[in-house]
């Protein structure tokens, strides 16, 4: 039967959830996905249905590429928020057709396409390389043993406050080295679209010197930043303790750049263990 392709619509969510789960079976990572989680993820990422492609065999949804469009590193980026194809439909050129349709329909000002892929998924990596993508960064993901206690750290005279919004001081103070930038999933535009994001701020008098951003739905650490002048004083540990004692014991840190050696050492020191790793891949369009 001839394959049919069309854009994603909100009425496709139920079928997409089934296809998502069936496509990611045995990929080396447990996929805990429900309809509300999928819908929240799409809203948070900035998914655009008109730039996402679904593949149908008759009435059955057999494949998809979900695309988010958002500002990242000062450029408009098309982020792959999910690609899947049922096992029996692989190696038929369907994924290539879908991706080409995505690329052909992107806004002219789109600078490039970005995605993450599990390091052990060699078929997918090979496919993306054939599409012109190249590896840009190696990203590591961590989980924390919830039974491991985090003691409060006294950081007086510094003070910690919490908020459910991004304060103007954060955008003014934040400064990541280019190779240590948060991944697309943890960029400020994405955090701004997440109503479940919680921020822990550290102040020295009226100056913001550190913060922790946490997705409270799954206890994922989105961003952790400490001003260079205040590092190695226990501030990051104090932020972890604050989150822990608010009830977020199952902390995790996803997509930490392998070049961020200070962050990796900090996580391991605080009982985080490496759970899975990914490659960040990029295709320049202009």
Pick the CATH number of 143-277 from 3.40.630.30, 3.90.1150.10, 3.30.70.20, 3.90.180.10: 3.40.630.30
- Average the pLDDT over 18-29 and give the result: 79
Residue 92 has pLDDT above 70, yes or no: yes
For residue 30, the model assigns a pLDDT of 46
Which pLDDT band holds residue 146 (cuts at 50, 70, 90)? confident
Residue 28 has pLDDT above 60, yes or no: no
Looking at residues 237-245, what average pLDDT do you find? 94
Q: How confident is the model at residue 24 (pLDDT cuts 50, 70, 90)?
A: confident
Could you check whether 4-110 and 143-277 share the same CATH topology?
A: yes
Mean predicted lDDT score pLDDT of the chain? 93
Q: Which residues pair with 114 in a beta bridge?
A: 79, 282
| Confidence check: pLDDT of 177 > 50 | yes
State the pLDDT at residue 100.
97
CATH architecture entry for 4-110:
3-Layer(aba) Sandwich (3.40)
**Span 203-238, pLDDT tens digits:** 999 999 999 999 999 999 999 999 999 999 999 999
pLDDT of residue 49: 98
Structural domain boundaries in the chain:
4-110, 143-277
Q: What is the reported pLDDT for 27?
A: 60
- Is 82's pLDDT higher than 60? yes
């Amino acid at each position: 039967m001839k394959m049919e392709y069309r854009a994603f619509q909100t009425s496709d969510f139920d079928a997409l959830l089934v296809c998502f789960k069936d496509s990611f079976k045995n990929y080396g990572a447990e996929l805990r996905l429900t309809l509300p989680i999928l819908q929240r993820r799409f809203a948070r990422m900035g998914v655009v249905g008109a730039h996402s492609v679904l593949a149908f065999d008759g009435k059955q949804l057999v494949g998809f590429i979900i695309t988010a469009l958002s500002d990242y590193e000062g450029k408009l980026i098309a982020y792959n928020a999910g690609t899947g194809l049922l096992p029996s439909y692989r190696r038929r050129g369907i994924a290539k057709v879908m991706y080409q349709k995505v690329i052909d329909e992107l806004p002219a000002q789109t600078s490039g396409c970005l995605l993450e892929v599990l390091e052990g998924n060699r078929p997918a990596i090979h496919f993306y390389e054939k599409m012109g993508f190249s590896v840009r960064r190696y990203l590591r993901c961590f989980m924390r043993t919830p039974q491991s206690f985090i003691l409060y750290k006294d950081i007086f005279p510094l003070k910690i406050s919490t908020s459910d919004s991004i304060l103007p001081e954060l955008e003014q103070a934040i400064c990541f080295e280019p190779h240590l930038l948060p991944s697309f999933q943890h960029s400020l535009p994405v955090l701004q679209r997440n109503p479940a994001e919680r921020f822990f701020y550290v102040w020295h008098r009226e100056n913001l010197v550190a913060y922790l951003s946490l997705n409270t739905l799954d206890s994922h650490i989105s961003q952790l930043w400490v001003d260079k002048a205040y590092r190695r004083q226990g501030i990051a540990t104090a932020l972890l303790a604050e989150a822990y004692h608010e009830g977020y014991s199952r902390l995790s840190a996803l997509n930490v750049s392998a070049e961020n050696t200070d962050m990796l050492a900090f996580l391991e020191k605080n009982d985080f263990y490496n759970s899975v790793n990914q490659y960040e891949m990029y295709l320049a369009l202009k």
